Amino acid sequence: MTVTIDGTGSRFVDEALFVADPAGGWALRGSRCDSCGTVSFPAQQSCPKCTGSAVSEIALPTRGTLWAYTIQGFPPKTPYLNADERPFRPYAVGYVNLGDEILVESRLIADDVDSLEVGDALQLVLEPIRTGDDGAVYTFAFAPSTGPETEVTS
Ligand SMILES: [Zn+2]
Return the domain boundaries, the chain. 11-144
Paired strand residues for 68:
95
Give tens-digit pLDDT for 70-119. 999 888 777 766 666 667 888 999 999 999 789 999 999 998 899 999 99
Q: What is the DSSP string of 57-93?
A: EEEPPSEEEEEEEEEE-SPPPSS-TTTTTS----EEE
Q: How far is the CA of 39 from the centre of ligand 1 (A)?
A: 8
Q: How far is the CA of 17 from the centre of ligand 1 (A)?
A: 20
- Which of residues 119 and 133 earns the better pLDDT score? 119
Q: How far is the CA of 74 from the centre of ligand 1 (A)?
A: 39
Average pLDDT across the chain, whole number: 86
Calculate the alpha carbon distances from 10 to 89, 109, 135 in Å: 25, 20, 4
Q: How far is the CA of 91 from the centre of ligand 1 (A)?
A: 35
The pTM is what? 0.83
Which of 1-10, 45-54, 56-65, 102-111 is least confident?
1-10
pLDDT at 59: 95
